[in-house]
Amino acid sequence: MMSRKLIDESREGYLENENSPFLISNYGYGKDSVKVMHVVRNGLVHTIKEFEVGTKLKLRSQKDYLEGDNSDIVATDSQKNTVYLLARKHGLKSPEEFGILLCHHFLSKYSHVEEVSIHIEEYPWSRMGFGTGPYKDLHNHAFVFTPTAIRYTDVTQKRTEIKPTVISGLTDLRVLKTTQSAFVNFVNDEYRSLPDQHDRIFSTVVRSSWQYSTVTGVDFDYCWNKVKQCILNNFAGETEKGIFSPSVQNTLYLAEKQVLETIPEISSIDMTMPNKHYFTFDFSKFPKVVNEVELKEETVYVPVDKPAGIIYAQLDRKSDQYVKSKL
């Protein structure tokens, strides 16, 4: 779905009908939810990639809107066919590379296309394996759907731009830890009912997006996995003792900071962490049924996801502070 843009008072780049008191301030069209799978059969070992692709084109003229003249329209069905044809010709590697390829194709093939926007989600297939550790035997041609997090990218390019803008991200990364999290010393006034929490369950569903400063020589698969690992490292810490979180805000910032420190190709990153609460059930009202002293190592919680606190931040490199981020 095309997002709504705020009115730009400069009207720069607008096309309008001189005989009308109105103007079209934002427009475009395309094909959504084009599902494509690419299979490589290298002897006995097979490899798969499955994407869901959305294409959007913005044409130089608006005569299709203003006059009902369809002569410049590249049909959405043709856009769908292009996805399959380019996948067959070039294969599917990373979502980012395929998005860049589609942008280049539409701009070079059709001189009246002014802007291309591509959205791609990758379906998280992993090779099926049996056994554990270094002795795990990976299957040659069987895969399992493992939606730990959903990977996506948005690639846009205007005809006047030398290179495309690539914004990648992940969604639905749900994590939880049962200790090493606190929330204390916050504003204490007449509106407060929440007590200090010195040891609590910390759970969230992470959504993050980041913008690349270059698209040349970038290993997009490595970068995506590294961002995910930075998030998990700063949430969980090392395996035995973990890492202490004084707030969601601090954990979020440390994850973003590590991303920018370790991946120089990323110029800006934003992240959202909504609270997924787990409140302790009050068993004090049921002393004849449950003895809290006897069961002190065990606790029952009530999961509550609404209403939820929402914490977010965007971290930019200071060297890029005058470059407008598109996140």
- 31: annotated active-site residue: yes
Residue 317 assigned to a binding site = no
- Rg of the chain (C-alpha set): 25
Residue 132 CA to residue 88 CA, distance in Å, equals 36
Whether residue 277 contacts residue 308, with contact meaning beta carbons closer than 8 Å, is answered with yes
Answer whether 170's CB lies under 8 Å from 149's CB: yes
Rounded CA-CA distance 107/157 in Å is 9
Contacts of 179 (CB under 8 A, 6+ apart): 199, 242
Exactly one of 38, 46, 63, 76 is catalytic; name it. 76
Cβ burial 204-223 (10 Å sphere, 16+ → b, else e): bbbbbbbbbeebeebebeeb
Any known ligand binding at 146?
no
**Annotation marks residue 76 as catalytic:** yes
CA dist 115 and 60 (Å) reads 9
Query: Binding site annotation covers 234?
Result: no
Q: 39 with 47: CB under 8 angstroms?
A: yes
The residue behind tokens 């979502």 is 95
**Upper half-sphere CA count for residue 128 (Cβ side, 13 Å):** 8
Q: Which amino acid is at 19?
A: N
Please pick, among 104, 158, 257, 277, the residue that the annotation labels catalytic: 277
The answer to whether the annotation marks 98 as part of a ligand binding site is: no
Question: Does 275 show up as a binding residue in the annotation?
Answer: yes
Closest CA to 98 of 84, 108, 113, 78: 84
Q: Does 183 count as an annotated binding residue?
A: yes
Question: Contact, 313 vs 255, CB < 8 A?
Answer: no
Q: Would residue 141 show up in a list of annotated catalytic residues for this protein?
A: no
* All residues at 6 or more sequence positions from 159 whose CB lies less than 8 Å from its CB, including other chains: 107, 113, 114, 115
> Annotation-wise, does 76 bind a ligand?
yes
How many CB atoms sit inside 10 A of residue 303's CB? 10
83 and 32 in contact (C-beta within 8 Å)? no
Question: Which residues fall in the annotated binding site for urate?
Answer: 76-77, 183, 200, 248-249, 275
Question: Which residues fall in the annotated binding site for O2?
Answer: 76, 275
Question: Which residues fall in the annotated binding site for 5-hydroxyisourate?
Answer: 76-77, 183, 200, 248-249, 275
Catalytic residue annotation: 31, 76, 277
